[in-house]
Amino acid sequence: MPRTARDVVFVDGVRTPFGKAGATGLFAETRADDMVVSVLRELLRRNPALPPERIGEVAIAATTQTGDQGLTIGRSAAVLAGLPKSVPGYAIDRMCAGAMTAVTATAASIALGATDVALAGGVEHMGHHPMGSGVDPNPRFTADKLVDSSALVMGCTAENLHDRFPAITRERADAYALASQRKVAAAYAAGHIQPDLVPVAVRSAEHGWGLATRDEPPRPDTTLEALAGLKTPFRPHGRVTAGNSAGLNDGACGCVIAAEDVAAGLGLGARMRLADFAFAGVDPEVMGLGPIPATEAVLARNQLTMDDIGLIEINEAFAVQVLAFTDHFKIADDDPRVNPWGGAIALGHPLASSGVRLMIQLARQLAARPQVRYGLTTMCVGLGMGGTVLWENLNA
C-alpha cells in the first residue's frame, strides 16, 4: 500500500556530565552501561506521558562494543533500565557520529511508520576503552595505499588540515579554543547547561560514593599564553595540541524521538522537527572536512543557503576542523550562530555520544530564539566521514 512519510520530532534529551577518561576521572569506577541506564531512566522520569510500552526501539551507539559497552547495548541497557521486555533495542557504530546515526536511523523508521517512538543515544567510556583498543586494522589499508597512514590517527588528520589550509594557523586555532572555554563558562554561569544533566552516582574505592552533577573537562581559567605553551604530540613543531582539541572523555547521552502526531496525541512536548539529514565521505586523511559535503547536501536538497541557518552546533573534535568548515561557508570565527554555549574542546567528546549532546544544546537554543527557523547539528567522523542533521524550530 502507498505510504506517506510522517514528520519526526525531537521530544527531549538528557546526558550525563562528561568526565575525564582515566584512573582519576569522574567515572573511572562506573560502568558504561550503567551510565546509559541513568540516561534512559531520566528520559522516562521527565516524560511521564510516554507509556514505556509505546517505545518501539532503543538504539544506543558505542565506538568500542566490548566489555561494559558490549552485549548489544541498546537492548541490554533497556532491560537494565526496567523497560518492558517487549521493547527491542540494538547497538550502532559510526564512530563519533554514533548517536547522531542512532537518531537518524530511528527517525527513518518512525517516518516510515514502522515505529512511533524511540529512545536514541550513545555512550563512550574512553577510560575503560581507549580509542582504538582491540582494533586490528587490515594491513591492506596502508600496504595497498587505500589510505595514508595518518588516516588512522585522528590528531594526524587534524595536522593534515593545517597543512591544507595554511590560513588556519595554530594561533587562530588556539583563539577559537579559548573562545569555546569562555562560552562554556558563561553558559554554566547562566544556567543553560545544567537542566539537561542527569546526576550520576559515582564510586571511588579511595573516596567512597559521590554524585557527578557537572562536566569535569572545562578549563575556565585557560589563557592564550597557556595554550601557546602546550606541546604538539602528533608532529614536532605542529599545530594540534591538547588545548585546541577535544579531550578523552567518558559520558552518555540520550533522547526521545517520535512521530509528530504521536507526540501530540500522547501530550509529549516537541522541541524541534527533523527536516533532513545527510552523511558523506571524504579522504580519510582529512576526515575533519566531512561536515562540509554533508552540510552541502542537506542545504542543496532543501534549497537553503547558510544564510538561512540561524544556529549551528558543530562538534569541536579539533579547532582546525571547525575553522575549515566555517571558512568554507564564509562564516566568521566569532559568528554568534556557531556553538553559542561552547563545544567539545571545553565540554569533552565521548565519541559515540556527542551527536545527541549537539541536539540537546540546539533544542534549548531554538526555544530561546523563536526568530530562528533552522538549525544544524554537524560533525566529522573517523575514517573520512561527516554527518549533518537539519532541524526546524517548532517555537518559531
Hunting for cell 576503552 — which residue is that? 129
Kindly state the cell numbers that stand for 204: 571511588
Q: What percent helix, strand, coil does the chain show, rounded to 5? A: 40, 25, 40
Given the residues 96, 125, 129, 192, the one annotated as active site: 96
Distance CA 336, CA 362 (A): 13
Is 380 tagged catalytic?
yes
Distance CA 93, CA 219 (A): 30
- Contact between 96 and 263 under an 8 Å Cβ cutoff? The reply is no
In terms of Cβ atoms closer than 10 Å to its own Cβ (0-12, 13-18, 19+), residue 332 is exposed
Distance CA 270, CA 293 (A): 29
Give me the sign of the Cα torsion angle 312, 372, 49, 47. positive
- Contact between 286 and 42 under an 8 Å Cβ cutoff? The reply is no
Q: Closest Cα to residue 125, out of 65, 39, 76? A: 65
Cα 148–Cα 91–Cα 215 angle in degrees, nearest 5: 80
Q: Closest Cα to residue 18, out of 103, 124, 95, 96? A: 124
CA 378 remoteness from chain centre: 9
Given the residues 128, 192, 253, 380, the one annotated as active site: 380
Kindly state the cell numbers that stand for 2: 502507498
- SS3 of residue 82 by DSSP: coil
Contacts of 108 (CB under 8 A, 6+ apart): none
Phi-psi domain of 82 (left: phi exceeds 0; alpha: psi -120 through 50; beta: other): left
Given the residues 128, 162, 192, 349, the one annotated as active site: 349
- Contact between 379 and 387 under an 8 Å Cβ cutoff? The reply is yes
Please state the length of the chain. Answer: 396
Is 96 tagged catalytic?
yes
State the catalytic residues: 96, 349, 380
